[in-house]
Amino acid sequence: MISFRDYYRNLVNLDFSCNPFSDNARNVFVITSYKDKWLLTKHKSRGLEFPGGKVEEGETSFQAGIREIAEETGGYIEELVYIGQYEVHSKEQTIVKDIYFGEVIRIDDQEHFYETDGPILIDELPENLEFNTDYSFVMRDLVVKESLKRLKELNLI
């Protein structure tokens, strides 16, 4: 397990085992690629980030991941690979997120991307991502860095 403080000084615990913090995570974070590029979205207030969000009633985190990709990027995906989970302890609550990786098959045009400005394709993430203010605070902590390491270990990227 890896523990650190996030942008807001909340305690974050990250683990790449199966459901270390909850069997029913209520949030998802999906690292996505499309045609050898990273597929991100531009959140209207936070900046560039991978898709993700809340698991809706009656939905699994896997289903939520697929839905969030479609809503935020127009991306269509058939398969997600679970790679880990993290929990964020704030003063108000503890949030648990499942982390997935998926390769998008196609990106469909759509009128609305909810709280985002739609798909953003980039060749490479910046080397010093943690200092790049174009990216969301979600992207600048150790979750992305360590998840990318894990994806390399699994030969997924």
**pLDDT score recorded for residue 143:** 95
Query: Is 117 a member of any domain?
Result: yes
**pLDDT score recorded for residue 36:** 93
CA distance 76 to 96: 25
- Number of independent structural domains in the chain: 1
With a threshold of 0.85, does the pTM exceed it? Answer: yes
CA angle 45, 107, 28 (to 5 degrees): 50
Query: Is 153 a member of any domain?
Result: no
CA distance 15 to 84: 6
CATH of the domain at 138: 3.90.79.10
Q: For 75-91, what is each residue's pLDDT tens digit?
A: 999 889 999 999 999 99
Query: Is 76 a member of any domain?
Result: yes
CA distance 63 to 80: 9
Query: Is 157 a member of any domain?
Result: no
Task: Give the position of tokens 């936070």.
Answer: 46
What residues make up the domain containing 7? Answer: 2-147
Query: Is 154 a member of any domain?
Result: no
Query: Is 152 a member of any domain?
Result: no
**Cα–Cα distances in angstroms (integers) from residue 102 to residues 15, 108, 123, 133, in the given order:** 19, 16, 16, 25
**pLDDT score recorded for residue 105:** 95
> How long is the chain?
157
Taking 50 as the pLDDT cut, the residues of the chain under it are: none
**pLDDT score recorded for residue 14:** 98
Query: Is 116 a member of any domain?
Result: yes
